[in-house]
Structure 1
Amino acid sequence: MMLDPITFSIYDIQQFPIVTMRNDAIRPGYAQQWEAELERLIDQQQPFVIIFPSGRPETEDHEDRKWRILWFKANKQRLGGVCRALISIEPDASEREAARAREVDLSKVFGVPLRTVENSDDAIQVAQQLFAHDAAPSE
């Protein structure tokens, strides 16, 4: 099954296995589409990362947040089986350090490692390192 970028509105999958969240898609009522797209990504059974660009909305609709939390609780093992990391871009140094301090705890919640980086280039570099690790022969 091939992923068709035209059918994705929450995630930009044009550079799959590097997937990028579309900040403008985070608006009330998006959670069902978010789930459908994430399910399709998982069903590929190919490793991927999700990059969250800076400038995300400060708040999220309560129902969408609740929907996503319940989904993560029920599916964190499935997600962790194929998603190598959730990578957030945070250009502000103090915000980045604060986010990094929460990574371990949040990784447990999502079932996926979290990484916080300064810019898009760093996000791509982290993704490539993770994929290279997947490709390395195990000893």
Structure 2
Amino acid sequence: MRIALPSTGKDLNSIVDSRFGRALYFVFVDVEGKEIKKFEAYENPAYNAFGGAGIQASQFVANKGANVVISPSIGPNSFGLLIQVGIKIYSCPFGISIKQAVEMFLEGKLNEFKAPFGPGFGRGRGWRGGWGRGPW
């Protein structure tokens, strides 16, 4: 099984990034049974995307062969694409390491996402302007 996690760094002690589509890195952990066999870290090609970072990150994760994604939150576009290609998505607490998240998953302590959780963490979440003043 191959598990993908958004990460702030390139190793198992890095913190799971709360932003899926705009995470700095993705760490892919290969497990057999209840044991971590190996891991690989890649820069997220969608990190600086102008738009559609969640979709691009999801495609990247799928192309790298992930069966499972573990993330504290995931937006609706990422959620839809990952589910469509058969990747299961599990939630984990904020602020834990990649290794802790994988261990919690292997121990059955994480819940599967049944719906997106959290907004898209794009470069703006509003009408324009970005200062929370609405469209005027």
TM-score, with normalisation over the residues of structure 2? 0.33
More strand by share: 2
Instruction: Return the structure number with greater relative CO, CA threshold 8 A, min gap 6.
Output: 2
More helix by share: 1
